[in-house]
Chain A
Amino acid sequence: MTKIHLTVDGGAVSEDVEPRMLLVQFLREKLGKTGTLIGCDTSNCGACTVHLDGRAVKSCNVLAVQADGGEVTTIEGLAATYDGGELHPVQAAFHECHALQCGFCTPGMIMRSVDLLNENPDPTEDEIREGLEGNLCRCTGYHNIVRAVQTAAAAGKGEEQ
């Protein structure tokens, strides 16, 4: 067991973890952050995507101990959405554009999209599609996910939708 200290969704946490525990297991099992989901065991699906120190990572591909001292943001901490608070613009765009059906890929897809827009605030359709390549969705055919990222990008520039 190793003791780790980190910030998750704005709160300080400290836990003993087994060295082999994955960050996604730590989030779900130790912290009850079940908004972050697990869709595969080969780091292909992206359902588990969170931000570690501001960048999107697949939390099934990071050990909990590697996040020691870091700052993690999950879908649950992306915006102060409890009690009906404002959605993050990317969350709002996913809702507006019907970019989710079953919702299982959605937390990871949103976290990846936020990162993508941070990197490139004005992506082309091809850049969006390439940028989301590591996140699989089985329901939407991606059409509306691409629309949502474009919509969020436009909102970021203060454009009218």
Chain B
Amino acid sequence: MTVTADRPAAEIGRDRRRKEDRRLITGSSRYTDNIVLPGMLHLAMVRSPFAHARVTSIDAAEAKAAANVVAVYTAADLDESAGVLINAWPITPDQVTPVHPVLAADRVTFAGEIVAVVVARSAAAARDAAELVDVDYDELPAALDLKEAVQDTVLAHPDLGTNKSALWVFDSAAAGTGGNVEDAITAARADGVVIEREYRQNRLIPAFMEPRSVVVDPTGEQLTMWSATQVPHIVRFALAATTGVPENKIRVIAPDVGGGFGGKLQVTPEEWLAWWIARQVHKPVKYTETRSESMIAAHHGRDQWQKLTLAATKDGRVTGLKVELTADLGSYVAIVGGGVPVLGAFMFNAIYKIPAYHFACQTVLTNKTWTDAYRGAGRPEATFAIERLMSDLADELGMDPLELREKNWITHEEFPFTTVAGLEYDSGNYEAATASAKKFFGYDELRAEQARRRAAGDPVQLGIGISTFTEMCGLAPSRVLGSLDYGAGGWEHASVRMLATGKVEVATGTSAHGQGHETAFSQIVADRLGVPFEDVEILHGDTQVSVKGLDTYGSRSLVVGGEALVKAADKVVEKAKPVAAHLLEAAVDDIEFQGGRFGVKGTDAGVTIQEVAGAVFTAHNLPDGMEPSIDAEATYDPINFNYPHGTHLCAVEVDTETGQVRLRKYTCVDDVGTIVNPLIVEGQVHGGLAQGIAQALYEDAVFDDAGTLVSGSFVDYLVPSAADLISFDAHHASTPATTNTLGTKGVGEAGTIASTPAVVNAVLDAVRQFGVEDIVMPCSPARVYAAIAAARAGDTGTTTEGAGA
């Protein structure tokens, strides 16, 4: 019996339990803060309490004299080798980009910015001494409100002369992808419907459970950084590019990482400081942030005002969409900060055939925490806007919101379909996903219950919300990134090594922090090479092991990284064929590979891939001139983005007497193409839903008038608990992607992108009857109650007060 005979035919599609679990459930984890090195020193940060202030003096004498303190550094001590923090995506050639120093010098630009660092022999000593650093500030007026900031009355950076960073525009008429939106709006005003809205995207905090942590060891030949990051390869590149240390002297390791959700794709002042200080003191150093520091200093997400105009015919055919965004960057342009809303530009048209489209986004500097990618990055904002608009249009026309959508969406026969934003959607079936979602949800029954409660004047009203979303993920075709002036490519790398013992070692350039790469990628390789799942080891997150890579974000690991893996594994098979032919004394053309075995066509003769690996290891008997290796690597640049989609249906109960919103049922049918591991996919959907629902109902990063983050801990920033959520009714449909070998589509962000508008549409569906048109997120009891009360009193029902402060 060969090794392969007793393994199941296909790993892909199996609900394998995760390989990575055992360590994590038994407490033998290796998060960065767990790392302790001999002689290690600890850092503590002194942070500005003011949003905008001049630093007039820093007195560190007392801190320096404290027991166990090794050094205190301020900006005055830094030299060029400290580097700066980079923005990798200037979205326009004239983008206004403030220099982002690793330590603030004479001016602080947000509450939480670092002005000094204490180095001590213990974390407690460092923290104590940080309290002793005496900083004098002269407060400056701060640019805080986004709408005011764009007026340039108070400047976040007075030296720049403006808060306006960049204006990015796409117009379908100019691009040749569609008509002129102004014509469409004019026509609709004359004889059709125009929906004009302004929606608020609340500011969110990624709130990964593991606070960020960094360890730097300068004592080896290569300098090593461990960091709780999603992007070890990008951190390595940026360290080399800005600190003068040659790239091949830098090793960056992302060990176990406790969640990221975009929040850990940054290059951070904390990392850069640890990097520089370790080289000054010639000792390993560690910095782990407190949760409070994480809330103010790790980048935030969303924070936009969306001005929207939708034109349609009276029978509900959408004729044009105009989008004008204002997006808050915070006080610095983060690594892809300006680019996040631009990613949304391609998605406002969503699954619909919209003939004319205009998008403009003004990015704005303020004296708040910087913003950047948070799960979905640009696409949740776009999906929220269009799915809200479609429901508002349906209401205006008195149509069923699903019918209206169906009237406008791309039908499954129409793929591949080039959209008004210029993307080619390869595949999808919106009809199938919607039909299936309606059935699981019990759409008709819930509508009937809603009617009953409405008729009875029940104080608890039922609302049904819809979101038929799609998104672009699998970042990204390098040429497209180039055309958008992004500073890197979008390829991914994998290598497959056949070990002498028949085991397989795989290195991927994507870096997992909870996504289950070790399991899913093992399944792919096991199928491709016909080896047991257990025999495959997936290595990642260490630049010395995964030598090339572009890391993890934008739901790219499986669709880009997985494809690199497929290509590398296929190369192994191709390299092994001549060896097998040689061992079997057959012609290469007569060799077929199946289930891990090279056979000679029409005979019983064969060798397993493990036997070939053994033969290559000894190299005693190989074809003449053959290099003794069947290992292979592949770098894959995607040819297109990837377009998962789905139909999400949400039912909520709104207590009209208290404003309390209770989730009643949440059904989703997501089409993520071919599924490698249904268990992992479902987990990604659940977690995504929770975060999208949280934006709709709970989470809000609120600053006071002085620019202090008042929701700066888990007491005030309401990450939902188990008691706030319900069990989800998650299903899938499958239209395989046509742009990769396995037919997979990304799933990491889908739940978050889809769910926010489903929930808000549901809340509105419950209270529209009172005249409420909008409730600003999060739809807290206070806001829902106020909206109902205002609408009943004859007000418009728009409760924008307090939003965006």
Contact = CB atoms under 8 A, between A and B. Distances in A.
Contacts of A38: 33, 211
A101 B721 contact: no
Contacts of A96: 17
A44 interface: yes
Interface string B674-697: 000001101100111111000000
A103 B29 contact: yes
A102 B679 contact: no
A143 interface: yes
Interface residues of B, number: 55
A101 B259 contact: yes
B259 A104 contact: yes
A146 B31 contact: no
A145 B683 CA distance: 10
B100 interface: no
Given A133-B722, A140-B687, A145-B722, A41 B291 contact: yes
Contacts of B207: 138
Contacts of A47: 209
A132 B722 contact: yes
Contact of B292 (A41, A94, A130): A41
Contacts of B24: 100, 103, 106
Interface stretch (A51-59, A64-72, A73-81, A151-159): A73-81
Given A34-B29, A40-B714, A94-B25, A142 B210 contact: no
A39 B291 contact: yes
Nearest to B717: A44
Contacts of B687: 101, 138-141
Contacts of A91: 25-26
B686 A100 contact: no
Given A47-B209, A75-B27, A95-B17, A139 B727 contact: no
Interface centre among B27, B31, B257, B728 (most CB of A within 10 A): B27
Q: How large is the interface on A (under 10, 10 to 19, 20 to 34, 35 or more residues)?
A: 35 or more
B516 interface: yes
A137 B210 CA distance: 10
Contacts of B691: 138, 141
Nearest to A102: B514
A42 B719 CA distance: 14
A45 B714 contact: yes
Interface string B14-37: 000110111111111101011010
Nearest to B679: A98
A39 B25 contact: no
Contacts of A125: 727
A37 interface: yes
Contact of A102 (B26, B27, B259, B727): B259
B722 A37 contact: no
A96 B18 CA distance: 9
A103 B686 contact: no
Contact of A94 (B21, B29, B124): B21
A98 B728 contact: no
Given A45-B209, A136-B714, A95 B514 contact: no
Counting chain A CB atoms within 10 Å of each CB, the highest count among B21, B207, B211, B689 belongs to B21
B31 A136 contact: no
A7 interface: no
Contacts of B22: 81, 95
Contacts of A8: none
B211 A139 contact: no
Given A40-B714, A141-B687, A130 B723 contact: yes
A80 B1 CA distance: 36
A21 to B, nearest CB: 8
Which residue among B36, B207, B516, B723 has the maximum number of chain A CB atoms within 10 Å of its CB?
B723
B258 interface: yes
A138 B208 contact: yes
Which of A47, A76, A103, A140 has the most chain B CB within a 10 Å cutoff?
Answer: A103
A23 interface: no
B516 A136 contact: no
A146 to B, nearest CB: 7
A128 B257 CA distance: 27
Contacts of A44: 713-715
A2 to B, nearest CB: 16
A32, A129, A143 — most chain B CB neighbours (10 Å): A143
B690 A133 contact: no
Which has the most chain A C-beta neighbours within 10 Å: B31, B210, B513, B515?
Answer: B210
B603 to A, nearest CB: 42
A18 B122 CA distance: 13
A91 B715 CA distance: 29
Given A75-B27, A103-B514, A39 B211 contact: yes
B25 A76 contact: no
Interface of B: 17-18, 20-29, 31, 33-34, 36, 124, 207-211, 256-259, 261, 290-292, 513-516, 679-680, 682-683, 686-691, 713-715, 719, 721-723, 725, 727-728, 751
The 4 A-B pairs at the shortest CB distance, nearest first, are namely A35-B27, A104-B258, A102-B514, A103-B24
Interface of A: 18, 28, 32-42, 44-45, 47, 74-76, 78-79, 81, 87, 91, 94-96, 98, 100-107, 110, 125, 128-130, 132-146
Given A141-B687, A145-B722, 14 more contacts: A28-B34, A33-B27, A34-B29, A35-B29, A37-B29, A39-B210, A39-B211, A39-B258, A40-B291, A74-B27, A100-B25, A135-B721, A135-B722, A142-B725
26 contacts: A35-B28, A37-B31, A39-B211, A39-B291, A41-B713, A42-B714, A44-B713, A45-B714, A98-B682, A100-B21, A100-B25, A102-B209, A103-B21, A103-B29, A104-B259, A125-B727, A129-B722, A133-B721, A134-B721, A138-B207, A138-B261, A141-B689, A142-B721, A142-B722, A143-B686, A145-B722
